[in-house]
Amino acid sequence: MNAMRIVVIGSGFGGLNAAIEIRKKLKHSQHEITVISDKEEFIFRPSLIWLPFHKHSIKKLSFPLRPTFEKISVRFIEKSVKSLMPKQNYVICNDDVIIEYDYLILASGASPDWARIKGLEGKSASIYDVSSALKTREKLEEMEEGEPIVIGVAQENPNQGIAYEFLFELDAYLNERRIKCPITFFTYEKELFDGNGKEPTEKLEVLMAEKQIPYYCNVSIEQVDDGKVYLNNGERLPYSFLLVLPPYKGKECILSSKDFEHENGILPVHETLQSVQWENIYVVGDANNIKGTKTGRAAELQGVLAVENIVKQMHHEPLRSFQHDTLYFMELGKEGAMFIMNKPSKQGTLTCTTSGMMPHMMKRAFESYYLLKFS
Ligand SMILES: Cc1cc2nc3c(=O)[nH]c(=O)nc-3n(C[C@H](O)[C@H](O)[C@H](O)COP(=O)(O)OP(=O)(O)OC[C@H]3O[C@@H](n4cnc5c(N)ncnc54)[C@H](O)[C@@H]3O)c2cc1C
């Protein structure tokens, strides 16, 4: 077999795991593996939830990627990709350098699409990256007694769990500081954190009642202005501090590439993770339109599966389909955390929900293990 050029765009959960897996699977081959990423650090994004509340330091949730890739002989190019040319099999970087490929794994993630909700842009706090999480920390430091707070999940947001984590962390933070502020929560989900089994919903309902947090399910945002969120059930929620999880959009390099059909930059894929248009392009993680919650776990599994399928494709073997599962640690402030598992197996779906300090410690331990393993 000729030596192939496999290019990975992005080095988050999807891209990092894909690159490591290619090296494992194609150990003694001449294939050339390249990762292009606009960041030279890996950020363990689930831990961003702790930054606004002074519960974590930035240094402890990241590591530099270059040494990791050097160790496994993967070429690392720290550049932003500005355009994809799937007909010609190359990508163009922001400095106009062209990188050719035989197989491409697109793991460029997604961005919050604030503009999709009328009036939302610039009004909501955010925790999607380090700098926005730090700005949120500053806002919280200025918070005063009695200020109304609204936390919510807007229609089409694909990772609702983050809002629950923020809600309970914020509740604990305010309690510690002895600041009393009325908090209201809303979500477009039919029930609290639905789609993950009965137990997580029931646990969250109990917590909401205990903490006297009023909430609305099955609602969408009509618009937001400087002081209120307008829900489609007629409710007008006044806020002084607002955090809404918006829908996602794909990255600029996809939005600006003419030869891709996409849904607001999110790329449609087959269950094999191949682009529906280009069979040598695999799309993993937040960047694709695979159903199910968008998580680091899903991105990681998809990165690994994309590699498995590329190797199968090289050998003209049938490809494997992606199967979604849930392994999720949801932080719950003073109550610790909730661990939720829904895992398909030959014996049926294995489910487990457990909460308390143990899942919280497991989440912390998992982060340390992950950073140690890959750095
Ligand atoms: C606060 C918070 C809490 C979360 N909690 C959890 C949790 O508990 N469990 C869980 O499983 N998931 C959690 N998630 C979700 C998880 O972090 C994401 O689903 C995951 O990061 C998606 O991985 P990805 O590789 O698809 O994309 P990303 O992590 O977004 O990585 C994309 C990569 O592409 C690079 N890139 C983007 N555009 C370009 C370009 N044009 N050129 C070159 N490089 C580019 C970026 O620099 C980055 O390296 C959480 C997320 C947040 C924000």
For the chain, domain boundaries: 5-111+248-314, 114-246+325-374
Interval 150-154 mean pLDDT: 98
Indicate which atom in ligand 1 lies nearest the CA of residue 328: 9
pLDDT value for 30: 87
Indicate which atom in ligand 1 lies nearest the CA of residue 159: 15
CATH architecture of 114-246+325-374: 3-Layer(bba) Sandwich (3.50)
Amino acid 4 reads M
Quote the crossing angle between the two packed helices 13-25 and 296-314, to the nearest 10°.
30
Span from the CA of 210 to the centroid of ligand 1 (angstroms) = 33
Please state, in angstroms and rounded to a whole number, the distance separating the CA atoms of residues 81 and 37: 8
Span from the CA of 212 to the centroid of ligand 1 (angstroms) = 33
Pocket of ligand 1 (CB under 6 A): 9-15, 36-39, 45-46, 48-49, 80-81, 107-109, 127-128, 159, 162, 251, 253, 285-287, 294-297, 299, 328-329
CA nearest neighbour of 101 among 72, 66, 75, 67: 75
Span from the CA of 13 to the centroid of ligand 1 (angstroms) = 6
Q: Among the listed ranges 23-27, 65-69, 141-145, which one has the minimum average pLDDT value?
A: 23-27
Length of the chain: 375
CA nearest neighbour of 37 among 19, 58, 61: 19
Q: 367 by DSSP, 3-state: which? A: helix
pLDDT value for 59: 86
Pick the CATH number of 5-111+248-314 from 3.40.640.10, 3.40.50.720, 3.40.920.10, 3.50.50.60: 3.50.50.60
pLDDT value for 164: 98
Our mutation pick for probing the ligand 1 site, out of 108, 166, 370, counting the most ligand atoms within 8 A of Cβ, is 108
Buried b (16+ CB within 10 A) or exposed e, 44-67: bbbbbbbbbbeebeeeebbbebee
User: What does the pLDDT look like over 252-280, one tens digit per residue?
Assistant: 999 999 999 999 999 999 999 999 999 99
Span from the CA of 287 to the centroid of ligand 1 (angstroms) = 9
**Distances from the Cα of 302 to the Cαs of 101, 226, 298, in angstroms?**
20, 40, 6
Indicate which atom in ligand 1 lies nearest the CA of residue 251: 38
pLDDT value for 344: 87
DSSP state of 319: P
Using 50, 70 and 90 to split pLDDT, how confident is the model at 332?
very high
Q: 285 by DSSP, 3-state: which? A: helix
Percent of the chain whose predicted confidence (pLDDT) is above 70: 100
Indicate which atom in ligand 1 lies nearest the CA of residue 133: 1
Say yes or no: do domains 5-111+248-314 and 114-246+325-374 share a fold: yes
pLDDT value for 155: 98
pLDDT value for 27: 80
- With tokens 């690392």, the residue in question is 76
Q: 193 by DSSP, 3-state: which? A: coil
Cβ(336)–Cβ(359) below 8 Å: yes
Using 50, 70 and 90 to split pLDDT, how confident is the model at 2?
confident
Q: Which tokens hold the place of 34?
A: 């390249």
Cβ(242)–Cβ(123) below 8 Å: yes
